[in-house]
Amino acid sequence: MADEIIFLGTWINLFSTRVKIASAEKEVDYEFREEDLSNKSPLLLKANLVNKQIPVLIHNSKPVYESLIIVEYIDEVWNHKSPLLPSDPHQRAQARFWADYFDKKMYIAGRQLMFSTGEAQETVNNDLIGCLKQFGNFSIVAECLALVAWVHGCMEKNSVSKHLLDQHKVYDCILERKRKLEAE
């Protein structure tokens, strides 16, 4: 019997993208169901009773939620190919820390940057740069070449490049959201 795998997410959500990349790296096939977060599906509401958010991976009728937890689940269940986390416990703990740090600091700062203007935007921008300086314990200016090389290495992986968001589509979506917020 083949596994039944349903993935609930949205095209623009970075956490959904994280799960898509992990699934692609492990060659896990799933049925993707785009969620309308302003009108959540009964399946999402049933699958994630706690916070009713995406992403959710439903594997043989058993839901798993929160992108970092889903990635670890994928890594453990489909452990025959491409480990996603280091095997060394300390290195694995460090990888988990930085992923959690990114989620808590970078993503929030990035969202604030998208929806702020003027002086508030400059403050958020400085906070975001400060977070980047902490991430991986590097100086952005001094280590920019290493960061660029890492990004290029990621981009060469089909599992990453085919799941990246279309920058023009994202830009249009953000502009539309800003217009709606300003109209309220």
Between 119 and 20, the more confident residue is 20
Per-residue b or e along 63-100, where b marks 16 or more CB atoms closer than 10 Å to that residue's CB: bbbbbbebbbbbbeebeeeeebeeeeeeebeeeeeebe
**Average pLDDT over the chain, rounded to an integer:** 83
> So what's the pLDDT on residue 114?
65
Domains of the chain: 5-77 (3.40.30.10), 89-183 (1.20.1050.10)
Encode pLDDT of 110-122 as tens digits.
666 666 667 777 7
Contact 19, 35 (CB under 8 A): no
Please give the structure tokens belonging to residue 161.
Answer: 């490049």
H-helix or E-strand spanning residue 73: helix 67-77
Encode pLDDT of 34-82 as tens digits.
999 889 999 999 999 999 999 999 999 999 999 999 999 999 999 988 8
